[in-house]
Each structure stands twice: as C-alpha cells, then as structure tokens.
Structure 1
Amino acid sequence: MVAHQELVDRVAAHDGVADAEEARRAIRAVVAALARQLGPEARDALRQRMPASLWSDTGGARTDPAADSGDLARNVGRELDCPPERGLHLVRTVLSEVALSEPDLTDGLAGSLPEELAQWTRDPIGAAGRSDTGASGAPGRIDEETLRAAQTRLPDWEGDTRGLTRSVLLPSDRIPPLLARVDRIGRDLDHSAHHEITDDGIAFTVRTVSVGAVTTLDIELAERIDQAVAEVGSGG
C-alpha cells in the first residue's frame, strides 16, 4: 500500500500544486472521480492500495466511463472549486504518482480511462515528457498521438496540434441558431471557438490561444460543436 504522506509529498512536489493540503484534497477528488468509473474488481484494488485517510467513499453505483479527459477534469474542478484546466493538471499529476507508487494498478486504471489519461498510468514519465502541462491553471497541450486518436471521433475536423478547423455547409438561415448553440457551449466550458462565415456556411476553429496549441478542452469543444451542427442541420 502506498504511504499516505509519501503520496501527498510526491503530488505536492509537482509544479502547479500549491502545498500538501491542496495535494491531499486533489488526491481525494481524483480517486473519488476514478472510483465512480471503475468496475468492482478495479475499484476494490484501488481501495486496497490507497490509505483510508485518502480514500473518499463515493457510494452509489458505477457511472458510465468518461468519454474524454474533459469529463474528469470538470468533475475534479467542481470538487476543488477550480477551472477544468487546473482540474486536468491535477488529474494527470495524481494519476502519474499513483501509477509510479502502485504499478500493479496500471492495467485496471488504464482500462477505464480515456486514452488521453490512460497514458499517464501506463507511462507516467513518458506522458509528462510528451505533454506540456504548463503552469498552474494553464491548459495542457495534447501530443500528436493523442490528437490522432481524437480525430477518429472527429472525422470532419482538419488540422494538427496547432489548431483544428471544421467547415460546415449550411443555409444562411440556419447559421444564427447554430452560433447561438455554440456560444452556449463556450459559456458552459468557459472556452470558445473562433468562427468565420463563408460563402456556403461557416467554419469553426478550436485552439487554446494561451498555449498556442490544441488542448483536451478543445477536443471536448469540437465534439460538442459536432453535436450542435447535427441538431441544427436536422432542424432542431
């Protein structure tokens, strides 16, 4: 079993973690979010390896696995009253230290996580090297491998790790309701897309300007734009 103070100290030593108290709160929040996604066997293994003093009993039934890392980031952010970008940083930090401390948990955790986060349990040192987690509160870039995996779910988006763009063919009378929906999505995520009206519709670009790259939050934004396009295009 990982020692309580050792895990707290290791998490607290990361850039962007204020102190031991924030590390302790982050561990509880991340473990609680994970436990709600794990099956009984993986959940029991996690509980057995975590000190009781750091385990937050989530209660209730297992929820559906998160579609992407943005779901977990927002859950942790709400629990810690911080932005989702910071929540993502803390999720990655805790996952990497749990994996380094208890490598036997790797397969069980990775199998229940979105690929963007599974790599932080399979290869925490390599994941840290491939992904720029930035300073406190800064969103983290995703690497080319993660972007390629995400684009399998986003076939209409083109680009690279610097930005993704989707051109939507749409009658002019459908553009205002689509923009209204995309604006609501931006407010909900606290992260907006750039748009440009074209001759035959509208083009959206997702990119996190503060880091000059595509982040996990941009992937979530693109997925939700796709949903809005489908709804508006069908007359919804």
Structure 2
Amino acid sequence: MTAVEDVAELDDPDEAKAVLTAVVAALARCLPDTGREWLAGRLPSPEAGPVRDAGPANLESGTDVEAAVARRLRTTPERGRYLTQAVLTALTRTDPALAEELRGRLPRAVVETLRPAGESPRDAASHRPEVPTRLTDEEVARGLRHLTGWSGDRHGIERTVELPADRITPLVERVQREARAMNDHAHVEQVDGGVTFRLLTTREGVVTEPDLWLAERIDEVVAAVGSGGRPG
C-alpha cells in the first residue's frame, strides 16, 4: 500500500487502497477464471476478494482497463491510466516476480497500452474532474459494452427499462438523487411498460465521461430498485 501511495503521489492511505482495489479488479477482468484464482492467491486477502468478484472477463485492452478504473474511481480515463501504471510500477518494486508473471498472463494489448509513460499522475492533462472528457463515437461504443441495455453515440445515450408500474416512481427518484449527487442530469421519459433514461452533457453538446459514470450508476439502481428490469 505504501508503494502505491509513493508512486501514485497520493496523500491518503484510504485513497491508495481504493486505487489498488480498482486496478486489481480491472486487471482481473482481463484474466480467465484460472488466472483470477492465481492472482487472488498471490495477493493479500483485502485485494483477493475484489479479484474473485471483479465481474465478467470482458476487458481486452489497456484502454478498457483504464476506462474501468476511471469509472470505479469516478475520474477521467487519463487519470485512470496513470493510476493503473502507478499500481503496476509499485507491484514491480515490491514483488518483481509477481509483476513479471502477471504481465505474462495479461493480453499483450493490455500490457503494451499500460507501459509507464514517465509522467506523474498529478500531471495528467485531464486530472481535473470538473473538466469533463468529451468522447468520440468509438469511445462511447467501448464504454457501452460494459453497460446493460444502453445504446447511442457521442450525441447521446439511452436505456429503456421495462418494469412494473409501481416500481417506476421509486426508480426515477433514486436515479435523480444519484444524478444530483454526481452533479449530472438524466432526461427521463415514461413509456408504455417502463421508463427511458437519456444522458448527454448539455453544456458540451456531446456525451462525456460523467455520462458513462451515471449510466453505470443507473444500471446499479435498476438492479437494486427495479428488480433488474429488462432492456427495452
């Protein structure tokens, strides 16, 4: 943990723990089940749990990894990349054999993208979360792959959820609370048999990283409040 604090230039041990957890969970999603068990067995117990419960193994590139880290930490992809690089560098310093074997197990596209660039995480151009990162159609499409039932492009994304009428109001109210907490806004339209959520950063006129973060939170709220819902 101390090595992560030093390399990533973090002042808060809790933040360093959150960064480490986010990175190892994202890397675990690049590995098959046997690889996850191997990694979990080599890590201290606090990090082993997130490795085993990381989610589907659907991250195929370093860009996918940094985006997953960014979403979990509510930061920008640039910041996600440098924090991921910092964790890998810290691991190399503290356990070179583990770091080397991990790189051998990860897809080459992940390893190549995440090679340290030599820039301090604090110097990443988009470190400031108040400046949202505008996304291209390709970046939006890549982000949507990790969400449930969403579609769209850089001009806007949406998801329609089918659910019982008595669950619509609790779902919408919870989504609106989440959006306010993230200083964001979700456009809501009630449709026959459900509700449609549309996301777009109005002041930018395009989809930005915070819109994908909110979409991920909406997925979590649907699962919790809407009994899972179904994509429309």
TM-score by length of 2: 0.51
Match of 2:18 in 1: 29
Match of 2:96 in 1: none
Question: Whole-Å Cα distance in 2 between the matches of residues 167 and 59 of structure 1?
Answer: 35
Match of 2:84 in 1: 95
Structure 1: segments with no counterpart, 5+ residues: 13-19, 48-55, 76-83, 112-117
Question: Whole-Å Cα distance in 1 between the matches of residues 89 and 154 of structure 2?
Answer: 28
Among 141, 163, 170, the residue aligned to 1:180 = 170
Among 154, 157, 175, the residue aligned to 1:161 = 154
Question: Whole-Å Cα distance in 2 between the matches of residues 95 and 213 of structure 1?
Answer: 24
Deviation by residue 1:161-199 (Cα, 9 ceiling, x = unmatched): 3420235678xx92x731321321443563452113468
Question: Whole-Å Cα distance in 1 between the matches of residues 40 and 162 of structure 2?
Answer: 46
Aligned ranges 1:24-173 → 2 under 5 Å: 26-34=15-23, 38=28, 39-43=36-40, 58=46, 61=49, 63-66=52-55, 84-86=73-75, 91-99=80-88, 102=92, 104=100, 105-106=102-103, 108=105, 122-124=112-114, 133-136=126-129, 140=133, 144-152=137-145, 156-167=149-160
Match of 2:31 in 1: none
The amino acid across from 1:11 in the alignment is A
Indicate whether 1:11 and 2:8 are aligned.
yes
Q: What secondary structure does 2:54 align onto?
A: coil
Among 207, 214, 219, the residue aligned to 1:213 = 207
Question: Whole-Å Cα distance in 2 between the matches of residues 72 and 42 of structure 1?
Answer: 18
Question: Whole-Å Cα distance in 2 between the matches of residues 223 and 107 of structure 1?
Answer: 33
The amino acid across from 1:161 in the alignment is R
Q: What secondary structure does 1:58 align onto?
A: helix
Q: What secondary structure does 2:189 align onto?
A: strand
Question: Whole-Å Cα distance in 2 between the matches of residues 153 and 26 of structure 1?
Answer: 24
Question: Whole-Å Cα distance in 1 between the matches of residues 195 and 222 of structure 2?
Answer: 13
Question: Whole-Å Cα distance in 1 between the matches of residues 69 and 186 of structure 2?
Answer: 21
Among 176, 180, 204, the residue aligned to 2:197 = 204
**Cα deviation, residue 148, structure 1:** 2.3
Asked whether the equivalents of residues 188 and 197 of structure 2 are also in contact (C-alpha less than 8 Å), the reply is: yes
Number of paired residues? 192
TM-score by length of 1: 0.51
Match of 2:33 in 1: none
**What percent identity do the matched residue pairs reach?**
18
The amino acid across from 1:94 in the alignment is L
Among 182, 187, 194, the residue aligned to 1:194 = 187
* TM-aligned CA distance change 1:132 to 1:197, over 3 Å: farther
